[in-house]
């Protein structure tokens, strides 16, 4: 018959002390530490993936803005008129600027780098006559502008709404 007393087993028949084996507790401790380490790795990877997806969403939104603007300019270029447009952009973009540059005429003012774009069929000299660059502010993620072309003009002009 075994009796337990303060971490030792006493054999009642022999009166001999047998020390308790504590390796099981050490293995459990190592297993717990390894599990916590894996959980930390998985959480860090999840934050990294979420950040990448959010940045991808912002990039897609900027590309969609440039494509939509070019499409609206092309439709206005084929027939004269004037139409107000509202586009969505990420809130980290402060403004959309048109500049008289031969390689790219659409720039984004932002806290992070955003590649400039080339928009065709716009009269950049008329747009930037008063100020170069001609900037349209991004207010709460919305950019409002007017795309217009008068009779007898070859190119489209853009102005603030």
Residue 154 lies in a domain: yes
> Is residue 127, in this structure, part of any structural domain at all?
yes
What pLDDT, in 10s, does the model give residues 82-91? 999 999 999 9
Structure tokens at 35: 């599990």
Its pTM surpasses 0.85: no
Of residues 32 and 50, which shows the higher confidence score?
Answer: 50
Structure tokens at 36: 């916590």
Question: Phi and psi of 121, rounded to 5°?
Answer: 70, 25
Into how many domains does the chain fold?
A: 1
Residue 41 included in any domain: no
Structural domain span for residue 82: 53-160
**73 within domain boundaries:** yes
Range scoring the smallest mean pLDDT among 7-11, 76-80, 98-102, 139-143: 7-11
17-36 pLDDT, tens digit per residue, is 555 555 555 556 788 889 99
Q: How confident is the model at residue 3 (pLDDT cuts 50, 70, 90)?
A: low
The four Cα atoms 97, 57, 55, 109 give a dihedral, to 10 degrees, of 10
**Residue 70 falls within a domain, yes or no?**
yes
């Amino acid at each position: 018959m075994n009796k337990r007393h303060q971490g030792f087993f006493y054999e009642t028949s022999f009166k001999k002390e047998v020390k308790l084996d504590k390796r099981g507790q050490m293995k459990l401790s190592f297993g717990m530490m390894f599990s916590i380490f894996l959980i930390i790795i998985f959480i860090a990877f999840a934050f990294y993936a979420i950040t990448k997806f959010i940045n991808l969403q912002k990039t897609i939104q900027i590309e969609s803005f440039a494509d939509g603007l070019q499409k609206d300019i092309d439709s206005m270029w084929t027939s004269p008129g004037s139409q107000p447009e509202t586009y969505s952009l990420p809130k980290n973009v402060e403004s959309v600027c048109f500049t008289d540059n031969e390689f790219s005429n659409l720039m984004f003012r932002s806290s992070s780098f955003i590649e400039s774009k080339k928009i065709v069929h716009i009269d950049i000299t008329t747009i930037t006559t008063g100020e170069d660059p001609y900037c349209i502010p991004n207010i709460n993620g919305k950019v409002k502008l007017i795309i217009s072309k008068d009779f007898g003009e070859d190119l489209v002009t853009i102005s603030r709404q």
